[in-house]
Structure 1
Amino acid sequence: MEGELSHIGAGLAAIGSGAAAIGVGNVAGSFLSGALRNPSAAASQTATLFIGIAFAEALGIFAFLVALLLMFAV
C-alpha cells in the first residue's frame, strides 16, 4: 500500500515538470511581446530573459527530483 501511494505522490510531483514548461513559455512569450513593442530595449533585457528561464527550469528539475525521491527512496 505504501509503495502505491509513493507512486501517486511521484506522479503528482511530476506535474511540476509540466508547469515548468508552461512557465518557460510564459517568460519567453512575455519577452517576445515586449521586444516587439520596443526593439531598442530588447538587447538590454536578454540577460533577464535567461535568468527567468533558468529559474523556471530549476523548479521543474526540483519537481522531477522530488518525484524520483518519492519513487525510489521511500
Structure 2
Amino acid sequence: MEAEAAKLIGAGLAMTGMIGAGIGVGNIFGSFLTGALRNPSAAGSQIGNLFVGAALAEALGILSFVLGILLYSA
C-alpha cells in the first residue's frame, strides 16, 4: 500500500468519530426528553447536566474532525 493511500484511509477513519458524536448527542437529548416526560418537576434541575453532556460529546466530534484534517494534510 502506498503512503498516500494509507494517509487518506487514516484520515477517513479518524473523521468517522463525528458519527459517534452525532449518535451520542442524540442519545443525550432523547434520554433527557424521556426523563422530562416521566418526571417534569425534576427536568429543570437537569438542564445543566444536559448541556454539559452535549458539549462533551460535540467536543469529541470536533476533535476527531481536527485529527482527520491534520492526518489528511500531513
Q: TM-score range by the shorter chain?
A: over 0.9
> What corresponds to 2:22 in structure 1?
21
C-alpha distance in structure 2 between counterparts of 1:42 and 1:20, whole Å: 23
> What corresponds to 1:38 in structure 2?
39
> What corresponds to 2:8 in structure 1?
7
Q: What is the TM-score of this pair, normalised by structure 2? A: 0.95
Cα distance, 1:49 vs. partner? 0.3
Query: Structure 1 unaligned runs (5+)?
Result: none
Cα distance, 1:65 vs. partner? 0.8
Aligned-residue identity in percent: 58
Length, aligned pairs only: 73
Query: Structure 2 unaligned runs (5+)?
Result: none
Cα distance, 1:4 vs. partner? 1.1
Consecutive aligned runs of 4 or more in structure 1 exceeding 2 Å deviation: none
RMSD: 0.6
Q: What is the TM-score of this pair, normalised by structure 1? A: 0.95
**Quick one: which amino acid aligns to residue 18 of structure 1?**
I
